[in-house]
Amino acid sequence: SPTAAAAPPATPIAEAQPAEPSDPPSPIRISETRAAPLPVPVPAPSETVAIVVSPREGSAARPGLAPPTAAKKTVARPAGSGSAPPPTASGSAHLDVPVIPGAPAQSFRGTPFSRGRAEASLSWCRLPMDPKNPDPALGRAVLDWGRVTRREVVMAMLVDTEHRMMLYEVRGTRGTYRFNGGSHDNTHGTLDVPVGQLVVFCEDALREPSELYALPAAWKGPLNLMTSVLPISAPPKLAAIAKHAPLHIDWITLLRDGTDGKSTLLAGRRYLVYAKVEAVDGTRLDMGKWTIELPASTPGANLAATGKRLWFVFEKPILEATDDPKKPHLVVHALHVQADMFPP
């Protein structure tokens, strides 16, 4: 059998010897000096203002890459703009950096704007034939449009936390509106348009204007809460539609009526709807649970095609008998068809 290796002799552990008594060291006196807070410089009218975006805390360089550095952007402050307001609690000041034609874009971190999603959201609001005097039957969520009269990147405060906002002021047909262009950053993206741009928009009918944030003096007051804001090159295309004086409704109303086999529409009224064509069968358009009768002589009839979303002006809602006497089928008569409403 194999012979076991002999274990090395154990090394004895020396017992700890008590330390020799000695006098305790004299205490070290350190004079504490607090630095005076640095004042926030106020730029002169002819100076430039640097907006610095620092890297996130804790961010480290990856192998082979240089460590993150602060990004610096300089924009001009025009003469006569006045001095900067006092700094906020965290030490940063609100800087009035107006939009100047040809100047670099303001520093604002947002996501790209999606025109398609913004326009789709507008379809849930009502389009008035007369924006200054909308039909009361349209309800509260009624579109308005006008030009941007002011925009500015500001630092707003929510209790003790700063939030950078892109604020807009728009003079609409029914009043002046002020809102945050980044409020739908995670859905529509951040609105980024210049002063003078025409926009169509819809206020959120379920919420009142908000004073949640403390804003700079130039913007003090409530902000309008928007469902959607869309840049347009001209007012909505109402010329061929307004003569019919239709009431704008949503396609959900027609889907519900068609599913229930009833009609909540007024027989003597004309309506406007934005809806998707499911199938074309001669002069009839299958809209899912309801049907549009579309004679070939109807303006815009050639636009109808399976899968297309179109604007329809219609009248004469009727209920046609079906195999189920309890579920008649809803049919409406088209007067006008239009491909789009908001010029890009």
Mean pLDDT of 4-14: 48
Enter the tokens of residue 95: 């800087």
| CB contact set of 79 (below 8 Å; sequence gap of 6+) | 45, 46
Is it the case that residue 78 has pLDDT exceeding 80? no
Mean pLDDT of 240-254: 95
Is it the case that residue 17 has pLDDT exceeding 90? no
The overall pTM is greater than 0.85:
no
Q: How many domains does the chain have?
A: 2
The answer on 253 and 216 residing in a single domain is no
Q: Is residue 121, in this structure, part of any structural domain at all?
A: yes
Mean pLDDT of 179-197: 89
Contact 201, 172 (CB under 8 A): yes
Q: Rounded CA gap, 273 and 252, in Å?
A: 10
Is it the case that residue 69 has pLDDT exceeding 90? no
Q: What angle is formed at CA 212 by the lines to CA 210 and CA 213, rounded to 5 degrees?
A: 115
Q: Rounded CA gap, 76 and 47, in Å?
A: 7
The answer on 204 and 155 residing in a single domain is yes
Q: Rounded CA gap, 324 and 109, in Å?
A: 58
DSSP 334: E
The answer on 131 and 214 residing in a single domain is yes
Over its C-alpha atoms, the chain yields an Rg (Å, rounded) of: 34
Q: Is residue 109, in this structure, part of any structural domain at all?
A: no
22-31, 78-87, 259-268: which has the minimum mean pLDDT? 78-87
Mean pLDDT of 23-49: 45
The answer on 211 and 261 residing in a single domain is no
Among the three residues 198, 231, 264, which one is the final residue of a domain in this structure? 231
Q: Is residue 37, in this structure, part of any structural domain at all?
A: no
Is it the case that residue 67 has pLDDT exceeding 90? no
pLDDT for residue 33: 39
Q: What's the whole-number average pLDDT of the chain?
A: 77
Q: What is the pLDDT of residues 261-297, one digit of tens each?
A: 999 999 999 999 999 999 999 999 999 999 999 999 9
Q: Rounded CA gap, 180 and 279, in Å?
A: 41
User: Cα-flanking dihedrals φ and ψ of residue 171, to 5°?
Assistant: -95, 100
Domain that holds residue 284: 239-338
pLDDT for residue 109: 66
Q: Rounded CA gap, 256 and 238, in Å?
A: 27
pLDDT for residue 23: 54
Is it the case that residue 209 has pLDDT exceeding 60? yes
Mean pLDDT of 291-313: 97
The answer on 227 and 243 residing in a single domain is no
Q: 3-state class of 126 per DSSP?
A: strand
The answer on 201 and 253 residing in a single domain is no
Q: Is residue 269, in this structure, part of any structural domain at all?
A: yes
Q: Is residue 51, in this structure, part of any structural domain at all?
A: no
Q: Rounded CA gap, 216 and 218, in Å?
A: 6
What is the β-pairing status of strands 271-276 and 247-248?
parallel
The answer on 262 and 205 residing in a single domain is no
Is it the case that residue 54 has pLDDT exceeding 90? no
Mean pLDDT of 18-29: 48
CA 133 to chain centre: 27
For 135, counting Cβ atoms within 10 Å of its Cβ (0-12 exposed, 13-18 middle, 19+ buried), the class is middle
| CB contact set of 276 (below 8 Å; sequence gap of 6+) | 251, 287, 307, 308, 309
Mean pLDDT of 226-249: 96
Q: What angle is formed at CA 263 by the lines to CA 134 and CA 246, rounded to 5 degrees?
A: 25
The answer on 119 and 199 residing in a single domain is yes
Q: Is residue 273, in this structure, part of any structural domain at all?
A: yes
The answer on 326 and 284 residing in a single domain is yes
Q: Is residue 36, in this structure, part of any structural domain at all?
A: no
Mean pLDDT of 54-81: 42
E strands along 112-250, which residues?
144-158, 161-172, 176-180, 198-203, 226-231, 247-248
pLDDT for residue 65: 40
Give the count of beta carbons closer than 10 Å to the beta carbon of residue 288.
15
The answer on 169 and 251 residing in a single domain is no
> Among 38, 70, 69, 41, which Cα is nearest to 53's?
70
The answer on 274 and 220 residing in a single domain is no
Q: Is residue 24, in this structure, part of any structural domain at all?
A: no
The answer on 284 and 255 residing in a single domain is yes
Predicted confidence band at 138 (pLDDT cuts at 50, 70, 90)?
Answer: very high
pLDDT for residue 100: 43
Which CATH number is 259's domain given? 2.40.50
Among the three residues 231, 266, 298, which one is the final residue of a domain in this structure? 231
Among the three residues 191, 210, 231, which one is the final residue of a domain in this structure? 231
pLDDT for residue 276: 96
